[in-house]
Amino acid sequence: MAKNKAFFFDSVLTDSGVENDCTLEVDDGGFITRLAPHSQPAEATDSTESAESADNEPEAQYVPGMVLPGIPNAHSHAFQRAMAGLTERNDGSEASFWSWRRAMYKLANRLTPDDMRVIALELYIEMLKSGYTSVAEFHYLHHGIDGTPYDNPGEMSLALLDAAEEAGIAITLLPSLYMTEGFGKTEVSADQRRFANDLDGYQKLWESLAKAVGARTNARLGFAIHSLRAVHGTNLIEADRLLKSLDQSAPIHIHVSEQMAEVNEAISHLGATPIRYLHETVGFDQGWTLIHATHATGAEVEMIAKACATVCLCPTTEANLGDGIFETAGFLATGGFIAIGSDSHISVDPREELRQLEYQARLYHQKRAIMVDFMTPNVGEALWCRAAEGGADSIGQPTGYIKPDKRADLIVLDSNHPVLAGRESSAAIDSFVFSGQPTPVRDVMVGGKWVVQNGRHPGEEDAAQAYLTTMRSLMTE
């Protein structure tokens, strides 16, 4: 019979703050069965594998350092990692979200399933090494390069699932429904043919993926509606009905109110701002995540908080694309739930997303240390916990906390790293979030298994080599 594994850590960020000298037990399914603070280090061994003692209690593997819950990356388009940094120029014509999107479509329309797997594997290893332990892949690149569906409609999605499995990151796959080019249109444009499905096609895709995801560990299937530009009117009402019939409990994500052009077009075509239109047409609740929600009005910010929907913020991407700033501090003050995502992957580090979130508010309000709550006066700690817990709800995975019945998804910080020198407890977490490069993340565990140890992922050299080969080929085509 399989036995629990046990680990002994110097300190652990729990849901009641930082606790010292913790023994953590994990079952063979990767779930935490016991967390015991103030336990005895003498019972621990420093072996790399836990073992059983004579009385069948698992001997604990001692891992020095501070342990935090891993962060869910709640919004990723993996293939966009390949174009990070390639649109940072202005040749005199207007550089905007829409010019960036033209460049993104160019790349999207060249990628094969194998390119997708190679790019995603490199990205997912980068995510793990920076402290993300799960990812929600908002995936819309479904069909072949000419827009014809593959024999297996989930071919491109399987490339992402394979990459996640090989990297060892937990994944929530969110196949995206994309039906029209924009408001007032009935079809997609030529450069969106790979994205397009009608509702029957989407149902077939989703049902084939349900089988593929069901056979994998640490994987989950949800839904994405690309945006109101892509799905509105009768399409939106019928899509909502279909999603509810397929799985009532699966998470639903949608891009909304990212750009003012989108808000203004929604007002002129639909008679309402996107968030209000969504709310009045199909409604949203705690199962929904609104990606960006950048231009939400004050009333909409309250509406989202009241519905217990999550807002997923992607601060480095939103800054990179010149989107605007969501009123995060006000949303948190009304009890709103947030998650973070690296979206276009201009940065792959949860600390940078959280810093940027806090710094936007500091620059705007001309104050410091804004995003705290009454439980946690330390900004780094408060934001890390909010993003871990909110991210877990957003992507529908049993993670985000280190406590029994959650999956053992965690990171270990190197207490000897200069960034953490002389720091303990909450001050160490603040220093980790706000200070310095490279990252003090030393070890990473997903589902009770070490996927990064001593800053190294066992597949990183091979993944990087394959990525280099693929990128050189794509860049010269």
Q: How far apart are CA 260 and CA 147, in angstroms?
A: 30
**Residue closest to 293 by CA, chosen among 310, 280, 307:** 310
Which residue lies nearer to Zn ion by CB, 126 or 343? 343
Looking at the Cβ atoms of 22 and 275, the one nearer to Zn ion is: 275
Measured from the CB of residue 68, what is the shortest distance to Zn ion in angstroms?
A: 26
CA 458 – CA 455 distance, rounded (Å): 10
Written as one letter, the residue type at 94 is: E
Quote the least distance from Cβ 76 to Zn ion, whole Å: 8
Nearer to Zn ion, 326 or 450 (CB): 326
Distance of CA 24 to the CA centre of its chain: 25
Nearer to Zn ion, 343 or 381 (CB): 343
Nearest residue (CB) to Zn ion, 328 versus 344: 344
Alpha-carbon gap, residue 398 to 329, rounded angstroms: 26
The nearer residue to Zn ion, 290 or 446, going by C-beta atoms, is: 290
Ranked by CB distance to Zn ion, the top (closest) residue is 343
Q: What is the phi/psi pair of residue 463, to 5°?
A: -65, -40
- Minimum distance, C-beta of residue 227 to Zn ion, in the bound complex (Å): 9
Catalytic residue among 75, 292, 295, 345: 292
Which of these is catalytic: 10, 115, 240, 343?
343
- Give the nearest distance from C-beta 179 to Zn ion in angstroms: 17
Note if 343 is an active site residue.
Answer: yes
Query: For residues 343 and 393, which CB has a smaller minimum distance to Zn ion in the complex?
Result: 343
Least CB distance from residue 427 to Zn ion, whole Å? 34
Task: Please give the residue ranges that form the binding site for Zn ion (CB under 5 A).
Answer: 343
CB neighbourhood size of 251 (10 A): 24
Q: 343 or 460, CB closer to Zn ion?
A: 343
Strand-pairing partners, residue 31, are 407
Shortest Cβ distance from residue 259 to Zn ion (Å)?
A: 12
Find the shortest distance in angstroms from Cβ 344 to Zn ion.
Answer: 7
- Which residues are known to be catalytic? 292, 343
